[in-house]
Structure 1
């Protein structure tokens, strides 16, 4: 089994000076769970190469997150030299995982190359997974007939209430919950910033940064079957 972990290259909220990027724990906690169970993984980003970390995410770390962050493997393969989309062969992966951090709202939703990669993994029976803002990578995925993949699917992601509490509702380009419902998804949610993840077929999604391990565990359960 092998998983493709997708990271953002976006450094700022749109054209503002406000820094954003990858929410650190959403990559490290997920990869750490895979590592514990002997599942291999690669890191990819829309442009390849450098991946910025959202500075706010450094305030919400723990020993496990920081230990993984400080490994040479993570710093080199994820943060410094993430793979570009063009070199990735979807046939090598059993799942794709969209990490979050507000940056993904700019470089995940409209990237045709990224979408084709996810669709190819989906077509071969693989899982499409995300956490928090990573759901932005799912919103515009369409099958060959032009139908949105999330239509009639139960999914979750960073909610509008959480966006308001984060103080970012006025600067994000769209609201994940709103667009998901527009696409016909059955958007599920729990209390803001509480752990919540769910599965519907080949989709496994988590609501917020506190849901990373729950997403990983659901995926690992499927790998056992």
Structure 2
């Protein structure tokens, strides 16, 4: 039986202490999951708290028929958005890869979630892949390896850039810039043109820059798993 792929989603419903809603960027989960499943791998969904996963309302403006069709499946509605697993329900040995989906909400509940960090570190130590998309890179920032160093130190990675945060109009409400923290952790942060597909691999790390890169991350992962 093939090992599975674990998709990490946010539980955060708003931008910090503001009234502005946020959550998962829908396409970053559906586009990745669809390609991985079509390649023959089962996916599971986990979130920092388990249970309900909110959608960023802005992401609903950037859907297509493919995204909507996956979103409307009973499987995604139930296992991803209604009853996502809690970290305590996850056995890292069951997974060949972990994928951190984005949406601004992740910046509040991904970086300091130690159970998720331990799951990712365990998958990595077993030869599996640690992957992320856009803001999902926030989940990678504080993962440490067995020797105590940062997983991303000295590695080529990408994620939602500082300039893209400015273009999104969210520079004043996010708690930090992913690019800035990644560079402080010693990562070699790579970037392409704003809002263009861009994904890179460095060993067992595969990362995508922005919401238009989910399929590119999935394709890189599938190539490696094959």
Which TM-score applies when normalising by structure 1?
A: 0.99
| Aligned residues between the structures | 224
Cα distance between partner residues in 2 of 1:87 and 1:67: 28
Cα distance between partner residues in 2 of 1:181 and 1:157: 11
Look up the match of 2:89: 87
Give 1:143 deviation, angstroms.
Answer: 1.7
Unaligned runs of 5+ in 1: none
Look up the match of 1:172: 174
Give 1:222 deviation, angstroms.
Answer: 0.3
* CA distances 1:37-83 after superposition (whole Å, capped 9, x unpaired): 11111000010000000000000000000000000000000000000
Cα distance between partner residues in 2 of 1:83 and 1:35: 18
Secondary structure of the residue aligned to 1:94 is strand
* CA distances 1:90-147 after superposition (whole Å, capped 9, x unpaired): 0000000000000000000001111001000011000000000000000111123321
Question: Alignment RMSD, CA only?
Answer: 0.6
Cα distance between partner residues in 1 of 2:149 and 2:21: 34
Look up the match of 1:138: 140
Candidates 126, 134, 145, aligned match of 2:128:
126
Unaligned runs of 5+ in 2: none
Look up the match of 1:35: 37
Look up the match of 1:198: 200
Q: Which portions of structure 1, spanning 4 or more consecutive aligned residues, are displaced by more than 3 angstroms?
A: none
